[in-house]
């Protein structure tokens, strides 16, 4: 993906969805580390099926992001896995040529949950990470991020639409799981995604401004 170009290096809020809703979907309780890596998953990265919480997340913030279950909390079941796959990019005109992207293996209907952006949930600053996405900001201005630099899932490979398509076909949207855990997820947009089509989102103007600033500093 565009990670080598400093994906989410300044930890920004993704472009908001035109549909300001929060979806409540079921998610399975699984161990945070998984040996069921998807095809083409890099050997040096740890694959996660659930978020991992870093010690920098205070207890009161973790309770806001991931409330402790009670005996009344319904049991969770894992939603059907979306038809997506990590694929190498060989198109010479693609900005991420030689890297990877996320592609549809079947036709995907509009407004379908594709995948949660999974990684290490943290509250410390990580300016060196290329995969740090903003999840939540507390009333007292503490930023909570999800960093998929060293561990994560398929969502870390999703690319920006610029230089590939006229507009994105997917978007970032907050949601709460059945257990109440806050996650940033990737959803299909208002139109179907064809089989074989790359999933593309907007990283947001703040990411591009940060990248431009970083490039100017390097030069």
pLDDT digits (tens, 9 = 90+) for 127-172: 888 899 999 999 999 999 999 999 999 999 999 999 999 999 999 9
Check residue 154 and report its DSSP letter: G
| Domain region containing 201 | 2-67+75-218
Q: What is the DSSP string of 43-93?
A: TTSEEBSS-EE-TTS-HHHHHHHSPPP-TTSPPP-PPPPPSEEEEE---TT
Q: Which of 73-77, 86-90, 101-105, 112-116 has the lowest mean pLDDT?
A: 73-77
Residues 86 and 154: beta-carbon distance below 8 Å: yes
By DSSP bridging, strand 159-160 and strand 200-201 are parallel
154: CATH: 2.170.270.10
Element (H, E) at 215: helix 205-218
Task: Please work out, in degrees rounded to the nearest 5, the angle formed at the alpha carbon of residue 85 by the alpha carbons of 96 and 153.
Answer: 85
Q: What pTM does this model have?
A: 0.79
Contacts of residue 55, Cβ cutoff 8 Å, sequence gap at least 6: none
SS3 content of the chain, % helix, strand, coil (to 5): 15, 30, 60
Tally of structural domains, the chain? 1
Q: What is the C-alpha separation between 163 and 43, in angstroms, rounded?
A: 29
High-pLDDT (> 70) share of the chain, %: 72
């Amino acid at each position: 993906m565009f990670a080598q170009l400093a994906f989410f290096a300044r930890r920004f809020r993704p472009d908001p969805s035109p549909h300001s809703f929060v979806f409540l979907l079921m998610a399975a309780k699984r161990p945070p580390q998984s040996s069921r890596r998807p095809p083409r998953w890099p050997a040096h990265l740890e694959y996660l099926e659930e978020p991992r919480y870093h010690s920098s997340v205070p207890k009161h913030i973790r309770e806001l992001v991931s409330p402790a279950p009670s005996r009344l909390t319904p049991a969770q079941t894992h939603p059907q896995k979306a038809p997506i796959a990590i694929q190498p990019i060989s198109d010479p005109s693609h900005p991420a040529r030689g890297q990877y992207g996320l592609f549809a293996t079947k036709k995907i209907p509009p407004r379908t949950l594709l995948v949660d952006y999974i990684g290490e949930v943290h509250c410390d600053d990580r300016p060196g990470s290329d995969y740090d996405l903003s999840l939540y900001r507390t009333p007292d201005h503490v930023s909570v991020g999800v960093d998929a630099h060293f561990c994560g899932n398929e969502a870390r490979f999703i690319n920006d639409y610029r230089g590939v398509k006229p507009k994105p076909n997917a978007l970032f949207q907050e949601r709460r799981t059945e257990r109440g855990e806050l996650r940033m997820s990737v959803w299909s947009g208002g139109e179907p995604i064809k089989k074989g089509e790359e999933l593309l989102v907007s990283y947001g103007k703040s990411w591009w401004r940060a990248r431009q600033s970083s490039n100017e500093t390097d030069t």
